[in-house]
Every structure is written in structure tokens, then in C-alpha cells.
């Protein structure tokens, strides 16, 4: 469920950034020939797109933080429930890393 929310938030974020880039390109293109109200309107559109992108980025950050906290909690619970198995796994991983490090 959290991964679905994260993917949806990523897609929304990408769309918002694409819109922001598109609006910026339009602003740069029209800035040469447009003055006054039209330039202000384009700036307002870019500002709105940037605000939406920031909000989406915040939602994505919150979602990732929640998923990370859930992973930490699950790991802590597993280690507390199976301390000797956890020590064995850690020793095995350390041994493999040591082997790989000495091969170089």
C-alpha cells in the first residue's frame, strides 16, 4: 500500500516538474515579445506549478519517511525476537564483505 502511494506521488511529482519546465520554457520564449498582463499571468502559472511540485515533494518525503520507520520497527522487532539468528546473519554478512574486500 505504501509503495503504491509512493509511486503515485512520484508520478504526480514528475508531472508537476514537467509542467514547471514547460511553463518556464514558455515564459522564456514569450518574455521577448510579451509585456504587462500576459507576462504576469505566465509568472503566476509558474508560481502555482512550483507550489504544487513542492507540496507533492513533501507528500513523497512523508511517505518515504513512514516506510523507513516501518522498516526500522520491523527490523528491531525481528532482532529482539531472534537475537542469536540476527548475530549469525550479521557475522555471515561481515564474513562475505571481508572476503570481497580482500579480493581487490
Backbone phi and psi for residue 87, each to the nearest 5 degrees, phi listed first: -65, -40
Beta carbons of 67 and 2 less than 8 angstroms apart: yes
Nearest to 24 by CA among 3, 43, 48, 7: 43
User: Whole-angstrom distance between the N-terminal and C-terminal Cα of the chain?
Assistant: 41
Q: Which residues span the domain enclosing 27? A: 1-103
Beta carbons of 23 and 46 less than 8 angstroms apart: yes
Q: Is the pLDDT of residue 73 over 80?
A: yes
Q: Is the pLDDT of residue 2 over 60?
A: no
- 19-54: pLDDT as tens digits: 877 777 777 666 656 667 776 777 777 777 777 877
Q: Which three cell numbers stand for residue 50?
A: 512550483
Total of domains in the chain:
1
Task: State how far the Cα of 37 lies from the Cα of 5, in Å rounded to an integer.
Answer: 39
Task: State how far the Cα of 24 lies from the Cα of 28, in Å rounded to an integer.
Answer: 6
Task: State how far the Cα of 90 lies from the Cα of 67, in Å rounded to an integer.
Answer: 23
User: pTM of the predicted model, to two decimals?
Assistant: 0.48
Amino acid at each position: 500500500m505504501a509503495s503504491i502511494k509512493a509511486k503515485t506521488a512520484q508520478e504526480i511529482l514528475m508531472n508537476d516538474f514537467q509542467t514547471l519546465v514547460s511553463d518556464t520554457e514558455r515564459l522564456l520564449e514569450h518574455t521577448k515579445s510579451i509585456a504587462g498582463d500576459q507576462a504576469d499571468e505566465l509568472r503566476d502559472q509558474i508560481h502555482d506549478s512550483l507550489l504544487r511540485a513542492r507540496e507533492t515533494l513533501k507528500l513523497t518525503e512523508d511517505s518515504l519517511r513512514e516506510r523507513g520507520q516501518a522498516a526500522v520497527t520491523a527490523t528491531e522487532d525481528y532482532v529482539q525476537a531472534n537475537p542469536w539468528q540476527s548475530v549469525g546473519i550479521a557475522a555471515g554478512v561481515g564474513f562475505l564483505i571481508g572476503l570481497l574486500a580482500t579480493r581487490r
